[in-house]
Amino acid sequence: MSDALLQVRNLRKSFGGLTAVDDVSLEVRRGEVVGLLGDNGAGKSTLIKCVSGVYQPDAGEIVFDGATMTFTTPMDARRHGIETIYQDLALANNLDVGANIFLGREVKKRWLGGLVHTLDDRRMAQQSRVTLDSLQIRFPTLTQPIETLSGGQRQAVAIARAVYWDAKLMIMDEPTNNLGVPEQHKVLELIRTLRDRGVPVVLITHVLPDAFAVTDRVVVMHRGRKVAEKVTAQTNTEELVQYMVGARDDDVAA
């Protein structure tokens, strides 16, 4: 199991009377893209939020990079290298690209023997450009507030932010939502780039073409349970749809 970066074992999470995640286990290995599929309300988001520290699971365990983890806050999970990009991106629209990439972790210059700190804008702009270049993201200017950028460009900024902070595992929730077709391609390309750089990606989506375009394996959830786990190349749309609507169930709880 040394290849598995993330292992989720028998995770359970309920809210009041509703069991959102019911005894789910899965595994993410280095260098792969895992698709997490399911219709609305299947429990994908809840599962992910347990892994990224937003929720604490009621039962089960999370093993990351060989060690059992309990994440009490999202920052906890990020510190260990799990970066999550939610649908709303969590970007500050009024700040520019560099400011967003470094949000919360700004680079500072010290003066007067450490008494006074100022923002080292130049260093941050420099680093931003390096990161963006490495992901082959091209922006015409880095100094516009990002609200003037397109949806796909903003996704790219969110990804660049995660990459800069040395994400070991990237979780993306419906990244191609609300994007035009060329931008969707761009985002999928970025996901492949990440995988090639050794950062595995968990891709939550209910858009099957995306799953087929970029994932290595898929896990399907339905009503809180894991109902299928397939190698992408060995399955097809009709089959996955059947799993997603609950017409088929492999009952693969470990």
Partner 1 sequence: MTVRGSIVAPAGAHGPGEGSSLKRLALFLSRMWAWLFLAVMVLFFVVAVPLSTGGSVNFLTIRNSQNILVAIVPVLLLGLGQTFVLIAAGIDLSVGWVMSLASVLSALALRDAFNSGAPLPVAVLAGLAAALAGAGVVGFLNGWIIAKLKVPAFIVTLGSSFIVRGVAYLMSENSTVIGLPAGLGAYGNDALIYYISGPGGGVYFLHRPEVGGELLRRMEIILPYPVLATAFVLALIMFLLHKTQFGRHTYAIGGSMDASVRSGIPVDRHVIKVYMLSAATAGVAGFLSTLRFTAGSAVIGDSLLLSSIAAVIIGGVSMFGGAGTVIGTVIGALIIAVLTTGLVMLNVDAFWQFIVVGTVVIVAVLIDQSRDLIIGRQRRGAAQ
* Residue 141 contacts partner 1 per CB under 8 A: yes
Residue type, 21: V
In whole angstroms, how close is the CB of 93 to partner 1 at the nearest point? 6
Residue from the set 108, 110, 192, 197 that interacts with partner 1 by CB under 8 A: 108
Residue among 124 and 227 whose Cβ is closer to partner 1: 124
Residue from the set 67, 140, 196, 238 that interacts with partner 1 by CB under 8 A: 140
Kindly give the interhelix angle for 181-196 and 151-164, rounded to the nearest 10 degrees.
10
Q: How far, CA to CA in Å, does 147 sit from each of 4, 92, 183, 238, 250?
A: 38, 8, 16, 39, 45
In whole angstroms, how close is the CB of 116 to partner 1 at the nearest point? 8
Q: How far is CA 51 from the centre of its chain?
A: 10
Please give the size of the binding site for partner 1, defined by CB under 8 A: 41
* Residue 17 contacts partner 1 per CB under 8 A: no
- Residue 181, SS3 per DSSP: helix
- Residue ranges in 196-235 that form contacts with partner 1 under rule CB under 8 A: none
Residue among 58 and 121 whose Cβ is closer to partner 1: 121
Give CA–CA dist 41/35, Å, rounded: 16
Q: Could you tell me the strand order of the sheet in which 4-15 lies?
A: 18-29, 4-15, 59-64, 67-69
Residue from the set 10, 127, 150, 242 that interacts with partner 1 by CB under 8 A: 150
Please report which helix (H) or strand (E) contains residue 155, including its range.
helix 151-164
* Residue 18 contacts partner 1 per CB under 8 A: no
- Residue ranges that bind partner 1, judged by CB under 8 A: 74-75, 78, 86, 88-96, 98-100, 103-106, 108, 117-119, 121, 124-125, 140-141, 143-145, 147-152, 180, 182-183
